[in-house]
Amino acid sequence: MWLELIKITAFPPPVFFFILGHLWADMVTALDFIKYDNCRNPRMEQGMGKSDALALNAARLEMGGRDGEKNVLQAIMHSGLGSLCYAIKSRVKSEERLIEKVTRKRKEKEKYDVDSVTDVIGIRLITLFRKEIPDIVREVLALIAHGKELSPNPFQKSCFEEIIIYTNAPHHDPFLAQLKEVLSQAGAAFELKESLEGYSSVHIVSRICSVAKLRTDYGEKKHPLPIEIQIRTVFEDAWGEIDHRFGYVQRAGKNSGTPIHNSALVQPHLKVLKHFTDACAHYADTILVSATTPLISKGEQGKIISVESDDDILKRFSELNVAANFITVYVEGRKLREEASKISLNQGAQHPQTVSAYIQAAEHFLQVRQAGERELSDGQGKAQYIYYARMNEALCLMSTEAPEYVQQAVELYTELADLYPSFPLAKFRLAQAVAKLGQTDPAIELYQSAEEAVEGIASVSHKTGHWPDELPLADYTHVSGALPKLLGYQLWKKAEYIGSLPDHDIEERTSLLYRAVMVTSKGLTARPDDIKIHNNFAYYATQYLELLGSLGGQPDSALHAQLSSSLSVLEHHTLSATNPDIFFLDTIAKAYQHLGRSDDAKSVAERIVQLVQEGGNQGEPEITLKILKNALTIK
């Protein structure tokens, strides 16, 4: 008979059997759905069990999910979201998987059914870097909210059924803060879940416009198809796939299809692997930041020196009846910060190990502060304790020298300056953090405000001999020496910027240089042995006097005398050193030039050239090149 059919048709035998095969497959599929749809007959429904209804609904969900998956993927590509991702994965839960999930879940929730499943369609957006995740989340939210010019849009408008951030990141992680900000700006409610296994991903559950007709006890209902979008890094995705195959299936009680041996060994290995993949993700972000973000310049870095007032602070805590256990954990935090400072001296301020140590200390102080807020009784003791815990938390963040953490420090110090307006140290630290981000004008304003507050309190305390909680003597000693140096630098920096502009206001530049000189001279009074303050003063004074001379101004004999004094300190410290700092040598050469000591200036310039050629004590390449050019001009 098959041969007769072949003869009747115009197709050769191979083509005929190819067509027949496809017809047979379509017929089988149709018969399957006829089998399920026959259940619409009331007489058939009477004999239809729960398992048959579950199978019918699961099949309909799968079929609807297939079409919905295509529409969503097209929307992702056409909206431009796809171009932001390293890779995109998708899947639709099969009839078998849906049945298995419902059966398993019913052991916990009796009424769980296929319409309870929220990930019929699953889309996974994969990035190379964690830092890319907030931008992708923002785009996904915009797509679901119909903020994209896309027609048709497969999503139900602004349908955010559930958003969960699974994380093992510390609270101070800038990535986490940015992610929260993106969700908050979109007005999307979200839940933060800390995973014991370390799982890190963003899950967004929504609905698409396509529906599946589901059988119920009362007839049929239209069920909008649910979709779960996961956003994670390629490192997290790799670990997640391995964990899902050998770890999650055991923890969730799933049937993996193949036996998993040695589970007692597998689970610890998965945790170790998670540490490795997290390290890779963080290091990838480090590479991205290094390649795309200018680091904080050497001039803005400096060394963040803590106020050496541990004993005074701890004594004050005791006087204010802060419990001994709270004082103990505070001391532990200071030890962590001191350890981070030692690592910074050995490895460098922006080394990953340094940053990690400071973040660990910041996390400790965050926990100290939260415990104090929860458990300490209201009063002056609680206020003081929380103030110093937050100050240390912010100081650790600022000490990382990483712009994203410094920005968090700015936010913390801003809150502290508002909550404790009479505490000058908070405003002083805020000025430091703002300066590190290159915001010169706000830094100048904040330093000046802090200076006024310090001088106001000090004028009274010097007379009474009593230093208040707002400004303990240790705080005053630290700020009175550091503030003039830092404020002077910001004033000089602004003068340099104005001088770089075409047709700049030379009088404004002169005024700024003069202020830099006068402010820095206060630092010399407070710290007469600080070689860096002598260097800054001599550098600014030389520039100012040269500019004043070019404008025909009268020589300032008192300033000349002070310049000669600082120059003498610099000469004693620098010229006899085996490997002197070229910044100090540059200042000496310029001062010699201004004072008419040409031969001495040439001698120092030759030494600068030699040091640069030998790779001696240098700073940033750009600044070193500038110093070298000046030295060659003098030679």
The helix/strand/coil state of 270 is helix
**pTM for the predicted model, two decimal places:** 0.63
Q: Residue 317 in contact with residue 381, Cβ under 8 Å?
A: yes
Task: Give 315-367 pLDDT, tens digit per residue.
Answer: 899 999 999 999 999 999 999 999 999 999 888 887 888 988 999 999 999 99
Task: Give 540-575 pLDDT, tens digit per residue.
Answer: 999 999 998 888 877 778 898 999 999 999 999 999
Average pLDDT across the chain, whole number: 85
Q: Where would I find the beta strands (DSSP E) of 187-284? A: 191-194, 201-216, 219-233
- Residue 514 pLDDT > 90: yes
35-44, 141-150, 152-161, 187-196: segment of lowest average pLDDT:
35-44
Q: Which two tokens stand for residue 134?
A: 């907030």
Q: Residue 505 has what pLDDT? A: 85
Q: Residue 15 has what pLDDT? A: 44
- Residue 589 pLDDT > 70: yes
Q: Residue 36 has what pLDDT? A: 43
Q: In this prediction, what percent of the chain has a pLDDT beyond 90?
A: 55
233-242, 301-310, 456-465, 576-585: segment of lowest average pLDDT:
301-310
Q: In this prediction, what percent of the chain has a pLDDT beyond 70?
A: 85
DSSP state of 81: G
Q: Residue 534 has what pLDDT? A: 94
- Residue 46 pLDDT > 70: no
- Residue 22 pLDDT > 80: no
Say how far apart CA 160 and CA 303 lie, in whole Å: 47
Q: Residue 225 has what pLDDT? A: 95
Q: Residue 330 has what pLDDT? A: 94
Q: Which residues contact 69 (CB under 8 A, 6 or more apart)?
A: 90, 91, 92, 121, 123
- Residue 305 pLDDT > 70: no
Q: Residue 294 has what pLDDT? A: 56
Q: Which two tokens stand for residue 496?
A: 């340099």
User: Cα angle vertex 369, ends 365, 375, to 5°?
Assistant: 140
CA atoms within 13 A of residue 388's CA, in its CB half-sphere:
28
The helix/strand/coil state of 562 is helix
Q: Residue 50 has what pLDDT? A: 64
Identify the band that residue 26 occupies on the pLDDT scale cut at 50, 70 and 90: very low
